[in-house]
Amino acid sequence: MKSLTRFLWTLCLAAALNAQTSLSSNPLAQFSQSLEELTSTVSPAVVQVQVSAWVTGEGARGEVWSPGSVVGSGVIVDPSGYIITNEHVVHNARRVRVMLTPVDSSAGAALVPPGTRTLLEATVVGVHAPTDLALLKVEASGLPTLPIYEGEPVRPGQLVIAVGSPAGLDNTVTLGMVSAVGRQPHPDAPMVYIQTDAAISPGSSGGPLLDVEGKVVGINTFILDNSGTSQGLSFAVPAAVVKGVYDQLRNHGSVRSSRIGIYVQTITVDLARGLGLGRDYGIVISDIAPGSPAERAGLKVRDVILEMDGAPVETVPWFAAAMHLHDSGAPLELTVLRRAKTLSFRLPVVPVETSAYGDSGLNPERDSIPRLGVVGKNVDSTVHMGLRSSHGVYVAAWLAGAIPGESQVEPGDVIVSLNDAAIISVSQLGERLEALTPNEPAVLQVERGAGYFFVTLDVD
C-alpha cells in the first residue's frame, strides 16, 4: 500500500514538473497565464454603472424627453468608494447604482459571495463635461482599487486591456495595443485621447484602459464607427487628465481653471496664406470676448500665440491644458506674433469652475411643465444670445406622452408672459398654470423666430 501511495505521489510530482517545464518553454502559455492573472487581479475593481436617466429622442415635432436607462462602466480608485466613470454615462441621471464584481474565492477572500452581484446606491460627487469624466461615491469601505498611472505617457505599440460592461455584459475583458497617442477628434478639439484597438462598445464607457501592471492609463470614452460597435478605433481619456480631474472633483466637487476671453484654432497652410499669418503652424486667436482681460490688454484677432508663461505653445490641447493649470491668482504672460512683430502681454485671468452636479443644465424632473407638456429652462446668460427677450422660459423639449396639437407652444419658443403678467422662471410659470381655474381665459405671449405671438390655452 505504501509503495502504491509513493508511486501515485511520484506521478503527480512528475506531472506538475512536466506542466511547469511545458509552461516555461512555451511563451504563449506564459503570456496567457499572465493575462489570466492580470484579469483576476483587476476585475474586482471594475463596476457596472446602472443609471435611471432622462433620455432624449426625436419626435414628429422636435426633441422629446422621457425616462430611460443607461448602462456604463466605472473603476474604483479609493477603497472608501470613489468611482470614476464618464460624464455622459450619468448625464441627466435620476438614480445611479453600481454593481460590484465578486472576487474569485479561489484567488482570495471574496468581496461578495461568488455567483452573486451587489448593487449599491451611488451619488454623483461632480462632473466635468469638457473631459467627459464624472466621480461617483458609494457608502462602503475596504473596496478593491486600481491605481491611476502617473509615470511616463503610454507609447504606440504598448499592450493594454479594456475592462467594462459592453451591452450590459459585465466584467468583459478585451486585449489590444496603443495605436496612437495625442489623438484629436478634429484639429481644434481641446482634448487629446489615447487611441487603441482594444474592443469597446456601448456600455464600456467609463471603464478603465489598463497597462500590463494593472494601472489605469486611461478611461474608455468613445469609438469611431457609425454602427455603434468597435472597429478597432477606440479612444480613452489619458491618465494625466483623469488624475487632475479626479483630484479636483473629490476636493471641490467641480473643476477649476482660468480664462482670458479668447478663442483659438489650429493654423493650417491654407489659413496662414489666406490671413497672411507669420507662420503656417501653431494656433491663432479667432475671437475675443468683449470686455475680457484679453480685449483690455490689447490682444487682437489673428494674433499667433507663441508662448504662455515662457513655454512654447503649438497646439489647441496644449493651450487648453496650460489655461487649466495656470494659477488663477497670478497674471498670465503671453507672447504673440502680429504680422512681423513679436509682442508680449501680461494680463489677469478670470477664475472659472464647472457647476456642481445638478446645479446647471436641464432637469426634466425639476423643469417639466406638465400642463404644457414641455421641459423649460429659465432665460439666462446661457440661453439669452440671439433672443429679444431678457426674461422668460425657454421651451427646450417635449415631455414624453405630450399630445401633438394639445399645446400650441413648441421647442424653441420663449414664454414671456401669462395673462399679461411677466414670467421669469419655470417654477413661477408652473405655479401660475396650476392656479388657473377651469374655463379661465389663459393667453401666453411667446417669442418665436424674430417676433412675438399670442397663444391661447384651454383650461379644463
What pLDDT score was predicted for residue 384?
56
The answer regarding whether domain 364-456 maps to CATH 2.30.42.10 reads yes
| Spatial contact of 392 and 413, defined as CB atoms under 8 Å apart | no
Query: What amino acid positions are annotated as catalytic residues?
Result: 88, 132, 205
Residue type (1 letter), 270: D
In this chain, the answer to whether the domains covering 44-253 and 364-456 adopt an identical fold is: no
**CATH among 1.10.1760.20, 2.40.50.140, 1.10.287.130, 2.40.10.120 for 44-253:** 2.40.10.120
CB 304 within 8 A of CB 277: yes
Q: Which of 246, 99, 72, 231 is nearest to 164 (CA)?
A: 72
pLDDT for position 383: 60
Residue 60: the pLDDT is 46
Residue 434 has phi, psi (to 5 degrees) of -65, -25
Residue type, 59: G
Name the superfamily (CATH) of residues 256-353.
Answer: PDZ domain (2.30.42.10)
CA distances from 198 to 37, 77, 175, 193, 250 (A): 18, 22, 5, 14, 29
The string of pLDDT tens digits covering residues 396-432 is 877 766 655 556 788 888 999 999 899 999 999 999 9
What is the mean pLDDT of each successive set of 10 residues along the chain, which is 460 residues long? 54 56 73 90 95 67 68 96 95 89 56 65 92 95 94 93 91 93 82 92 94 96 72 88 93 88 90 88 91 93 93 88 82 92 93 62 75 84 66 82 65 89 91 88 85 81
In tens, the pLDDT along 222-239 reads 988 766 555 678 999 999
- Residue ranges of domains in the chain: 2-41, 44-253, 256-353, 364-456
